[in-house]
Amino acid sequence: MTWSLHSYLASDHFAVTVTIDTPRIPSPPPTLKWKANWHLYTQSMETWACSFDPPNNIDQLESEIVQAIHIAANQTIPLTTPTTHHRNHWFYDERVKELRHRLLILHKTLHKHPSPELLQTYRKAIPLIREEIQEIKTNKWLEWCESLNVHTSLHDLWRRLNIVAGKFKSQAHHPQPKTEADALLTTFVTRSNTSQLPLSTRNRLAALSPQRDADIQQALQETAESDEPFTQQEVKQALKINTNTAPGLDNISYSMLNHLGPEALSQLHLLFNKSLAAGRLPTSWKVAVIQPIPKTGQPTSYKPISLLSCLAHFHKDTLTQPKALCNLDHFTCVSEDVQLLVSNPEIVTIFTDGSVELHTGRAGSACICGDYTYTRRISNNSSILQAELFAIKGAFTHALRLPQDSIYILTDSLSASLQKRPLDDNTQLITLALFKIQQLSDQGKSIHFQLIPSHAGISQNDLADLAAKDSLRHSHVTTVRLSISHIKKLAKKASFQVSNIQHLVWVQAGSPSVLWYKTVTDYQPTIIPRSMTRSNATMLHRLRLGYRCHWEIAQRFPRVSTLPRHC
């Protein structure tokens, strides 16, 4: 604080000028709307992880990590109350959405770059857009009124009128929620109880249970070479999850895990290694949220859906043993086991493999059973999965002609061995394979699938690989329908080529924006890191497309000065 005498006011009471320097009151942080601030979320987690002292207890460590994620999420991720009702949904369509979007763009542009011309355009657009939306509402209302007849019930009539008036009645709560929850719990426990199984199955389980428990306890006592601590790279690779799923009891989604920085990921890395060393999981990962979903056509019957923690799923994906952990001893053991199967005269072992030539698009399949070799060249541009499935189908066809009852199919294709229903793609090949399996079952034969590592010293598998590559030189081609995913890929590639041709026409015409795009991008996508803020990503996208920068727009639309002019 400073003070001084006034320059000209003086009398018996001197005038004093006092200047008080007071700090400005900080404004509260803005309320989050619509979008999550992932950049701030990452920074908050990194700040916490740098000063965090991890405890030795696994449950406490997991609890503190979850608590830190919740604190950072509450500060950066807006909470919304989802609802299925909207007061304007009865007339809302794509045209209304487009009109409101245009009005919003005009409003934002006017706010950023005010000018008399933009203000006049905005004022003219408002009544025109409102008039068209009102016309759409009127047409929707008249269309509904025309659907009324003598068969329309009063319930439907009043329901529609209440929707138009914006009056929604929330669903009434159950009068006795605890009793209903206990009844559902009893239903689920009864349904999943082993007493519901057939008597023969229960007896078989009771006979096998002691030996299984003994095998598990023995395996826990043995030390395996794969029981190595996780690396940071393995944790990062397991985290590559593009879609969100319903979270478990901790309310942590995959998006929160995907936006963790290196320091925060190191804490998860530590938690996973401690869990692996202790041989147990945190207690909270064993708790699931059971959601009853009504069955189709049976509104009084439910199927339980278990929602586990995303952290637990993340840990499970990290536990997947990669092939890199296998050493020469493991491959030798697998090769010896396979040779024991081959030497058994009562067992038929068939090795399958497929091959695809990338630069020509040729594809072929082969299967080997002793001295028998089956090779076929299939349609060009077929995928490696289709080649493997065709080879497996050929193995089933050969097994139908053999007298042995025990058939072993050995393949090195993980994707082919994991094919299951529903059949979304490659329907023809999978259906034919299932039909062959049914024929083998009718003959009383048992089929065993075994996944083996490729190029692991198994001579028969190497011979199948060479036979599949030799089939690429065959002149006769067996037709196989292209997969849906490959058709989409070809359509995308064709559309990209057409767009490039059209773009090059404008390049030759000398278009400045087109020349800029070709020079900057070279028709390649831009990889934007997840840590980049949305505003910076938008600016980078605008720069890529050749849009004007903000300072250029400011020069075209100068701001109107609101300060008074002094003479």
Q: Determine how β-strand 289-295 pairs with β-strand 16-19.
A: unpaired
pLDDT reading at 418 higher than 80:
no
Tell whether omega for the bond before 403 is within 30 degrees of 0, i.e. cis. no
Q: Quick one: average pLDDT of 161-179?
A: 73
Kindly report, residue by residue over 99-152, the tens digit of the pLDDT.
989 899 989 888 888 888 889 999 999 999 999 999 998 998 888 888 888 788
Query: Against a cut of 0.85, is the pTM above it?
Result: no
- Return the pLDDT at 49: 92
Task: Check: CB of residue 60 under 8 Å from CB of residue 271.
Answer: no
- Return the pLDDT at 15: 59
- 470/299: higher pLDDT: 470
Using pLDDT thresholds of 50, 70 and 90, give the confidence band for residue 565: very low
Task: Check: CB of residue 233 under 8 Å from CB of residue 324.
Answer: no
**Both tokens assigned to 150:** 């003598």
Q: Which residues contact 487 (CB under 8 A, 6 or more apart)?
A: none
**Both tokens assigned to 444:** 């009383």
Tell me the C-alpha distance between 184 and 190, whole Å: 10
- Ramachandran bin of 381, using left for φ above 0, alpha for ψ from -120 to 50, beta for the remaining angles: left
Tell me the C-alpha distance between 277 and 272, whole Å: 9
Question: What phi, psi does 550 have (nearest 5°)?
Answer: -65, -35
Q: Which of 92-96, 135-139, 329-333, 536-540 has the lowest mean pLDDT?
A: 329-333
Q: Which of 460, 474, 340 is nearest to 395 (CA)?
A: 460
Using pLDDT thresholds of 50, 70 and 90, give the confidence band for residue 438: confident
- Return the pLDDT at 437: 84
Tell me the C-alpha distance between 180 and 173, whole Å: 11
Q: Which helix (H) or strand (E) holds 67?
A: helix 58-76
Gyration radius (Cα) of the chain, Å: 34
Q: Which residues contact 197 (CB under 8 A, 6 or more apart)?
A: 205
Kindly report, residue by residue over 330-364, the tens digit of the pLDDT.
667 777 778 888 888 888 888 888 888 888 888 99
Tell me the C-alpha distance between 239 and 63, whole Å: 20
List of domains in the chain: 94-165 (no CATH), 196-325 (no CATH), 333-482 (3.30.420.10), 503-556 (no CATH)
- Return the pLDDT at 128: 92
According to DSSP H, which parts of 471-533 are helical?
484-509, 512-521
Q: Quick one: average pLDDT of 529-554?
A: 70
Tell me the C-alpha distance between 446 and 440, whole Å: 8
Q: Which amino acid is at 108?
A: K
- Return the pLDDT at 557: 47
CA dihedral sign, ordered 417, 423, 425, 429 = positive
Tell me the C-alpha distance between 293 and 308, whole Å: 16
Q: Which of 74-83, 257-266, 410-419, 551-560 has the lowest mean pLDDT?
A: 551-560
pLDDT reading at 35 higher than 60:
yes
pLDDT reading at 318 higher than 70:
yes
Tell me the C-alpha distance between 284 and 480, whole Å: 49
**Both tokens assigned to 472:** 């690429």
Helix, strand or coil, per DSSP, at residue 50: helix
Tell me the C-alpha distance between 263 and 45, whole Å: 8
Q: Quick one: average pLDDT of 384-413?
A: 86
